[in-house]
């Protein structure tokens, strides 16, 4: 029997551009990801973007992607590039 899509584990690689550094974007992302039960991490990149790796159930990862497009109130998100990766054995969600 085939597993339902909403229970599959997927891994997304997001690159978020805009005014997302210095406005607690990483901490807000970590808190949102943890509330969704996701694994992975978030970090600032030297070019001003924020990189997010999120792994979990399809619906939960999609909820984080939707949230990332809006971000916390002080962030001004210009663009979110999304790539898909193979799921990896990880635990928790952290800030790097």
Concatenate the DSSP letters of all residues of 23-49 into one string. Answer: SSHHHHHHHHHHHTT-EEEEEE-TTS-
User: In what helix (H) or strand (E) does residue 62 lie, and over which residues does it extend?
Assistant: helix 58-70
Catalytic residue among 4, 11, 34, 44: 44
Kindly report, residue by residue over 38-89, the tens digit of the pLDDT: 999 999 999 989 999 999 999 999 999 999 988 887 788 888 898 888 888 7
For residue 93, tell me if it sits in a domain: no
* 44 noted as active-site residue: yes
For residue 94, tell me if it sits in a domain: no
Q: Please determine, for residue 30, whether its predicted confidence score (pLDDT) is greater than 70.
A: yes
- Total number of domains constituting the chain: 1
For residue 74, tell me if it sits in a domain: yes
- CATH number at 81 reads 3.30.70.100
pTM, two decimals, is 0.82
Catalytic residue among 11, 26, 30, 49: 26
* 4 noted as active-site residue: no
For residue 92, tell me if it sits in a domain: no
């Amino acid at each position: 029997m085939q597993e339902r899509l909403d229970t599959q584990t997927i891994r997304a690689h997001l690159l978020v551009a805009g005014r997302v550094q210095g406005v607690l974007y990483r901490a807000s992302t970590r808190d949102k990801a943890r509330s969704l039960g996701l694994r992975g991490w978030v970090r600032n990149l030297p070019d001003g973007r924020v990189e997010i790796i999120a792994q979990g159930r399809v619906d939960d990862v999609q909820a984080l992607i939707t949230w990332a497009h809006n971000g916390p109130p002080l962030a001004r998100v210009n663009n979110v590039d999304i790539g898909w990766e193979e799921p990896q054995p990880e635990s928790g969600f952290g800030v790097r």
